Structure 1
Amino acid sequence: MSNGRFPIQTVNAISPVGLQRLDRDIFDLGTDIAEPRGILVRSADLHDRPVPQSLYAVARAGAGTNNIPVDKLAALGIPVFNTPGANANAVKELVIAGMLLAARSLYHAADYTRNLVAEQGLSGQALNEQVEAGKKQFAGFELPGKTLGVIGLGSIGVLVANAAQSLGMKVLGYDPAVTIKNAWQLSPNVEQVESVEELFARSELITLHVPLIDSTRGLVNTERIASMPRGAVVLNFARGGVVDETAVLQALDSGHLHAYVNDFPTEAGAVHSRVITLPHLGASTGEAEDNCAVMAVDQLQDFLLNGNIRNAVNYPEVIMARTPGTTRLGIFNANKPNMIGQITAVLAEAGLNVAEFTNKSRGDYAYTLVDVEGEVRDELKEQILAIDGVIRARKL
């Protein structure tokens, strides 16, 4: 930062509803900033981009962070923020729409009707007769009484489960790491099962709301599909890789699955008669883009100005109110023994009184916020950085 300003690079087009929340007396915005303190991104791939030494944080206006080198940035003391829940309603509505599309074969029925006119040139009585003759092939089923299995009870999964339950469906949920907050928001009529295998075996429709990591890749596979009732439906608005598409297409061809609805087009899936594949529409609403931008901007701004970390995917959540009349230090370090003791020892040797202090860890890394009374000289930062295990230190 120079002259007390924070340059922010916008890699993608970010909703102005979010950008207008930045104080332009403090923040500079641009797409071609060479030495940014923060980066705002949506879907652009950052993996092959060099990491500027000036960079303090990356904020993703969306939930997934597969396009960001999260681990690499963590090792450099750079938190990566995402926006869980900001697009949850948009995805929830798409999932409900997907269930209705599959249950009533609406996509293919509409395509059939369009072709009667556009391709066959039918009209009048001939069109009416062909419509009546062909509609039987699109007979579907109703959702009330059907069992929906929801894998992943985060912000989106909870909304989907509650909405499906209100439609009269029986809902099963599976998430071994469901948070207390999300558990409280989940309808008490949603049954949480003990294993993903139980959920597959009991569900007539499955919807996925999990990140793409090693443990979820190919989560929907041949064995689990086979355990589902005949005529089941799989919906995937999470990530393409959580479904073994070859296994799904084989189950569709055999008639074991009724339909596969997804948001991740492939050459094979896009042309299959029992697949409804959409062009990655999950968060493609104006409201969701605004919500994501607001949340990403607020988190980035709070970190740059106050050192607070909210919704980082590679560092713990650390939030501490500023203590009046103090200087704040933000310290990133490896999660190893005696780090707190060494940091506080340096502060004590400098004659600085600690007014407030908090430290939390997550995996291999930890983060400390400390408000100190007294003058913080530049050499103090160098002394802290000299501690074995300290990655980065900031004076705010």
Structure 2
Amino acid sequence: MLTIGVLKEPGKETRVSLNPDIAASFVKNNIKVLLEADAGAKAFHSNQQYEGAGVQIANRSEILTQNDILLSINLPDHETLNNLKPGSVIIGVFQPLFHVAKMEELAKKDITLFSLDMLPRTTRAQAMDVLSSQANIAGYKAVLLAANVFPRYFPMFMTAAGSIPPAKMLILGAGVAGLQAVATARRLGCVVDVFDTRPAVKEEVMSLGAKFVEVEGAADASKAGGYAVEQSEDFQQRQKAKIAEHAAKADVIITTAQIPGRKAPILITKEMIANMKAGSVIIDLAAFSGGNTDFTKDNETIVENGVTIIGDSALYATAPSDASKMYSKNIQNFLKLIIDKDGQLNLNFEDDLVKGACIAHEGKIVNERVAGMLQAV
């Protein structure tokens, strides 16, 4: 019988790889599911709920020695990996382009490593696209966080004591997080401007009631999977001027621009922040990879010239129940690619999604992008 093991996540991580409903679907298909005790507690799923779904609660050592597929959103620690059953498959979100040396180390172990953030960004992959499902939550939460920190109202109010103008929000990046931020900000009554280097997203932005800020001459980003791409020096100068103009008028800025495997581009400079209004708020969702401002620090709040800059690339963790629900569904859809109808492991590397997400197999790095970065070191 195939065995799926689910580990308790380390540190401040609030999500769990499988919620009870998705775990139950595997149990019904004659797949054994082992869950480390309290792995779902921070996502408000009790051990009793899992047991009711047919999941067996086990200690960490039992899971490591019995599993065929190990689910851990974050990369397990060195000790855990050393005690892992040989031949195991590990699935999570490991950001391999930022941890290439670690990936090389792991490749030498007898494990197969899948990182779902490396899935090709294709239509077929949407059902298992963990980046999009989690970014949706992050965009929503970024606006709510800004509303809590911002010292004034978001919507327009007309009262006997006077009128309050609506807050002006600038959103940099119209990917999944950016578009959800637009929708949420508009529902809260903000006037929203959106900047993105991809002209193709203009229609989506406008359909949500925001204004699209255009800078002509952007490099084609249609094949970048929703990420930013590096731009020419001339474009960067014109982009900088346009962003500076809008930043000076903005009450709130939400930034989302990232480049795979590279430091996030600086879009809001210290000069721009110096010209922003006191009390303004910046929420930087690209904080993990360096941030989109000169002052961003991940998991920290910085106040500069009266502007509050919050770096948080894991805002989805503030909605752990729904974040886990969507992540679990992504996992379920990916596992359909590597578990056959008889409930047996079947690693079909002819499938472009299986191949694209696989980082290490049979003692070596098999992902071309990660291998290329190793060669460049």
**Cα separation, 2, equivalents of 1:59 and 1:293:** 11
Query: 2:131 matched to which residue of 1?
Result: 84
Does the CA contact (< 8 Å) of 2:285 and 2:312 recur in 1? yes
Partner of residue 170 from structure 1, selected from 175, 185, 192: 192
Q: Following the alignment from structure 2 to structure 1, what is the Cα–Cα distance between the partners of residues 352 and 276?
A: 35
Change over 3 Å in CA distance of 1:295–1:219 after alignment to 2: same
Q: In the alignment, what sits opposite 1:34?
A: 64
- Structural RMSD (CA): 4.7
The verdict on how the C-alpha distance between 1:140 and 1:287 changes in structure 2, with shifts beyond 3 A counting, is farther
Matched, 1:58 2:91: yes
Deviations 1:269-305 (A, max 9, x none): xxxxxxxxxx966442422221122212331343344
Relative to its length, the structure with more helix (as a share) is 2
The match for 1:127 is none
Q: How does 1:305-384 map to 2 (within 5 A)?
A: 305=340, 307=347, 316=356, 363=369
Residue among 3, 24, 40 paired with 1:20: 24
Q: Which residue type is aligned with residue 288 of structure 1?
A: A
Change (3 A) 1:245 1:86: closer
Asked if 2 retains the 8 angstrom alpha-carbon contact of 1:104 and 1:140, the reply is: no
Matched to 1:99, the amino acid is A
**Against the structure 1 CA distance between its residues 170 and 68, is the aligned structure 2 distance closer, same or farther, given a 3 Å change threshold?**
closer
Cα distance per residue 1:6-45 (max 9 Å; x no partner) = 4434343442133223245134424332343322223565
* Structure-2 change in CA distance of 1:18 and 1:225 (3 Å): farther
The correspondence of residues 103-182 of structure 1 with structure 2, limited to 5 A, is 103-105=150-152, 142-144=165-167, 146=168, 148-165=169-186, 167-174=189-196
SS in 1 for 2:131: coil
More contact order relative to length (CA 8 Å, sep ≥ 6) = 2
TM-score (norm 1): 0.51
CA distance in 1, matches of 2:264, 2:336: 33
The letter of the residue matching 2:31 is I
Report the Cα offset of residue 87 of structure 1.
3.3
TM-score, scaled to structure 2: 0.54
Letter in 2 for 1:34: L
Give secondary structure in 2 for the equivalent of 1:143.
Answer: coil
Runs of at least 5 residues in structure 2 that lack an aligned partner in the other structure: 10-15, 37-59, 118-129, 154-160, 216-235, 341-345, 373-377
**SS at 1:153's partner residue?**
coil
Tell me the matched-pair count. Answer: 269
User: Is contact 2:115-2:357 (8 Å) kept?
Assistant: no
Q: Deviations over 1:211-254 (max 9, x none)?
A: 596421876552442354665321134536425248984623xx
Measured after TM superposition, the shift of residue 49 of structure 1 is 4.3
Q: Could you tell me how far 1:190 is from its partner in structure 2?
A: 4.1
The question of whether the paired residues in 2 share the 8 Å contact of 1:46 and 1:67 is answered with no
* CA deviation string 1:296-347 (max 9, x = no partner): 23313433445468997x96269xxxxxxxxxxx999878xxxxxxxxxxxx
Aligned ranges 1:150-229 → 2 under 5 Å: 150-165=171-186, 167-174=189-196, 185-188=204-207, 189-194=210-215, 195=236, 197=240, 198-203=242-247, 204=250, 205-210=252-257, 214-216=262-264, 220-226=268-274, 228=276
Q: Which residue of 2 is the match for residue 110 of structure 1? A: none
Give the partner amino acid of 1:56.
V
- 1:251 partnered with 2:309: no
Quote the residue 1:8 is aligned against.
5
Structure 1 Cα separation of the partners of residues 174 and 76 of structure 2: 27
SS at match of 1:234: strand
